[in-house]
Structure 1
Amino acid sequence: MKKLAILFSLFAFVMVLQANAQDAGSGAVISFKENSIDFGDIVQGQKVEHTFVLTNTGKSPLVISNVAATCGCTVPSWPKEPVAPGKSAEIKVSFNSTGKMGKQNSVVRIYSNATEPIEKVSLISNVIPKTN
């Protein structure tokens, strides 16, 4: 009886793994042209922005539920409607360097129904002081 219980447990475990693998193959997948952009030196107080282009390379519609930045100095905007398989969309991110100094790496997290549910993009810069 003990062997039967172990065999049944192993069978159930394999079935769960197989179901998860099938789901992963049929879901949405985010592919970015680039995951980061480096602006180099920018003057304190300067605002920079970049538009990250993503493509849904999966087999299901991509739904972005939220996009969150690491600080209030970075503001993202993203598509609220689903992105069909094979289609592209844009996530626009702006960074305000007011009150910042030195090397900055503003990370933005993209939360979605993709097989990898959290993706990251970043704006990199080196904030230098204003010269009068």
Structure 2
Amino acid sequence: MKKLLSLALILMVGITFCMAQDTTKQTAVKEAKFNELKHHFGDIPQGKPATTKFTFDNTGNKPLIIETAVASCGCTTPTYPKQPVLPGKSGTIAVTFNAEANGAFKKMVTVKFAGYNRPVLLVIDGTVK
């Protein structure tokens, strides 16, 4: 019984440390430092599209090129720079949610940078009232 309790305690401490990590700037593309990876809209009115902007800085020494930015559903539209983001410069990905259906939502946008195998995942959530 003591072993089981000890194991449960260790597991809970480990999970707490993992959840406490600041993932705001940790992405698969280390040269793209995002201001945030998740945006919470809170309550938004039905029928009024809501938009947020995810800004990133190119901290590398080569231009960053976004190949694609794809939303998890048709109710979400990402807009991203088509030109390379030069070293030391910033880029912005605007994400618009159409807010047609009532209720809670959580949508993702997968951003693929040229030369990187793993994409960056951006998340929006909130509640349409």
Distance 1:121 1:114, change over 3 A: farther
- What TM-score results when the alignment is normalised by the length of structure 1? 0.69
Tell me the residue number matched to 2:52: 50
The 3 A distance-change label for structure 1 pair 123 and 51 is same
What's the CA shift for 1:56? 1.1
Question: Which amino acid counterpart does residue 91 of structure 2 have in structure 1?
Answer: A
1:51-105 Cα offsets, whole Å, 9 max, x none, are 111111122211100000011111111101111112101111110011x232111
Distance 2:96 2:103 in 1: 18
- Conserved? CA contact 1:69–1:108, under 8 Å: yes
Q: Among 27, 32, 49, which residue is 2:34 paired with?
A: 32
- Taking the aligned partners of 1:116 and 1:31, their CA distance within structure 2 comes to 17
Q: CA RMSD for the aligned pairs?
A: 1.8
Q: Give the TM-score, by structure 2 length.
A: 0.71
Aligned to 1:111: 112
Sort the Cα spacing of 1:115 and 1:28 in 2 relative to 1 into closer, same or farther, 3 A. Answer: farther
Equivalent residue number for residue 84 of structure 1: 86
Where in structure 2 are there 5+ consecutive unaligned residues?
1-28
- 1:118 counterpart letter in structure 2: P
Measure how far apart 1:114 and its partner are: 5.5
Moved over 3 A (4+): 114-117
Aligned counterpart, 1:60: 62
The number of equivalent residue pairs is: 101
d(CA) in 2 for partners of 1:116, 1:33: 22
Counterpart of 2:128 in structure 1: which amino acid? Answer: V
> Which runs of no fewer than 5 residues in structure 1 stay unpaired?
1-26
Q: What is residue 20 of structure 1 aligned with on the other side?
A: none
Bigger CA radius of gyration: 1
| CA distance, structure 2, for counterparts of residue 124 and residue 37 of structure 1 | 7
